[in-house]
Amino acid sequence: MKKISVIGAGNVGATAAQRLAGKQLAEEVVLIDIIEGVPQGKGLDIWESSPVELFDTKVTGTNDYKDTANSELIIITAGLARKPGMSRDDLLAANAKIVKDVTEKAAEYSPQSILIVVSNPLDVMSYVALKVSGFEKNRVIGMAGILDTARFRLFIAEALNVSVSDINAMVLGGHGDSMVPLIRYSTVSGIPISELLPKKKIDELVLRARNGGIEIVNYLKTGSAYYAPSSAAVEMADAIVKNRKRILPCAAWLEGEYGLDGVFCGVPVKLGSKGIEQIIELKLTDEEMAALKKSADEVAVNIKKLKL
């Protein structure tokens, strides 16, 4: 891939740019922000690490969207971060305005690109990007499930004192308090976690995964998570750039799948060079389906609050 652009040179964006360059997923990574000097300084700093880290990807910082022209992949991280006491939904109006603005500019210069949305509230911002860009639904993807699943996998590994490499899990639904970890699909080297942990402990891990973001916000006080979110976004980029056909939980625009229509919601998808190449429909239990619908309904309520 020739060019990947990252919109927003804050902690998530800059760390994503660093990981993209380090993995050499493009010939050039462009880091763009409205604040003069910040993307230029961070971009140059990342690029100057290349002789030590041994990557040949060029890293460019800019305030001008012309420099993002003909990007094949764009990661949108722009927006305000949460503070203690704030929910993701509290960011709704302010970040909708920011994401609308950056998507319009990005889509103008890179009309064939694929968009990965990281800004919160994630599912609603993905909707904003879809509507404003006018792109096909397979080219606008929200990063949520990979991050939620990573947190859940870590907590399972910690509880069992085993390697994270052996943990598989799946978290569906909106990126928030109503996310739906699927216990039946959570395994350690193929062994269901229900065979290894008591229900009470599993319930505790589910709750901690749901509160994974706010736990970090409460520690940091003046910011939110960025190492794990940037890793999750770059895992999606890797699947797209290398056409890996990975099955990953991502926020996708649903039109009847899982009985849900006209809403972004986290579901398993096949990610390849065209973006979302397939939405995988699992057979859910009544309880799981009810939880997924509740989660999607919360996203739908927030979408209706927007004035696009």
| pTM for the predicted model, two decimal places | 0.95
**Best CA proximity match to 252, nearest among 104, 154, 100, 145:** 145
Q: Are residues 244 and 124 in the same domain?
A: no
Q: Are residues 127 and 260 in the same domain?
A: no
Q: Are residues 201 and 232 in the same domain?
A: yes
**201-242 tens-digit pLDDT:** 999 999 999 999 999 999 998 889 999 999 999 999 999 999
Q: Are residues 251 and 287 in the same domain?
A: yes
Q: Looking at the predicted structure, is the pLDDT value of residue 243 above 80? A: yes
Mean pLDDT value of segment 48-69: 98
**98-132 tens-digit pLDDT:** 999 999 999 999 999 999 999 999 999 999 999 99
* CATH code where residue 245 lies: 3.90.110.10
Q: Are residues 91 and 162 in the same domain?
A: no
**267-306 tens-digit pLDDT:** 999 999 999 999 999 999 999 999 999 999 999 999 999 8
**128-146 tens-digit pLDDT:** 999 999 999 999 999 989 9
What is the band of 90 on the pLDDT scale with cuts at 50, 70, 90?
Answer: confident
Mean pLDDT value of segment 15-32: 98
What is the band of 28 on the pLDDT scale with cuts at 50, 70, 90?
Answer: very high
Q: Are residues 105 and 133 in the same domain?
A: yes
The last residue of a domain, from among 91, 115, 142: 142
Q: Looking at the predicted structure, is the pLDDT value of residue 33 above 90? A: yes
Task: Supply the pLDDT for residue 235.
Answer: 98
Q: How many domains does the chain have?
A: 2
Q: What Cα–Cα distance (Å) separates residue 137 from each residue in 143, 150, 244, 264?
A: 14, 25, 19, 10
Q: Looking at the predicted structure, is the pLDDT value of residue 157 above 70? A: yes
Task: Supply the pLDDT for residue 38.
Answer: 98
**Best CA proximity match to 264, nearest among 181, 141, 80:** 141
Residue 54: alpha-carbon gap to chain centroid = 27
Which range of residues forms the domain containing residue 59?
3-142
Q: Are residues 152 and 274 in the same domain?
A: yes
Mean pLDDT taken over the chain: 95
The last residue of a domain, from among 87, 114, 142: 142
* CATH code where residue 60 lies: 3.40.50.720
Residue 228: alpha-carbon gap to chain centroid = 10
Alpha-carbon torsion (303, 79, 114, 167), positive or negative: negative
Residues belonging to the active site: 175
Mean pLDDT value of segment 37-46: 98
Task: Supply the pLDDT for residue 65.
Answer: 98
Question: DSSP code of 69?
Answer: T
Q: Are residues 65 and 152 in the same domain?
A: no
Q: What Cα–Cα distance (Å) separates residue 194 from each residue in 211, 251, 268?
A: 21, 27, 21
Tell me whether strands 275-279 and 261-272 are parallel, antiparallel or unpaired.
Answer: antiparallel
Q: Are residues 135 and 46 in the same domain?
A: yes
CA distance 169 to 149: 6
What is the band of 1 on the pLDDT scale with cuts at 50, 70, 90?
Answer: confident
Planar angle of CA 227, 73, 154, nearest 5 degrees: 25
Q: Are residues 115 and 197 in the same domain?
A: no
Q: Are residues 163 and 288 in the same domain?
A: yes
Extract the tokens encoding 267: 């579901």
CA distance 119 to 22: 23
As a whole-number percent, the residues of the chain with pLDDT over 90 amount to 89
Task: Supply the pLDDT for residue 176.
Answer: 74
Q: Are residues 30 and 55 in the same domain?
A: yes
Q: Reduce the DSSP state of residue 108 to 3 states and report it.
A: helix
The last residue of a domain, from among 114, 142, 170: 142
Task: Supply the pLDDT for residue 88.
Answer: 62
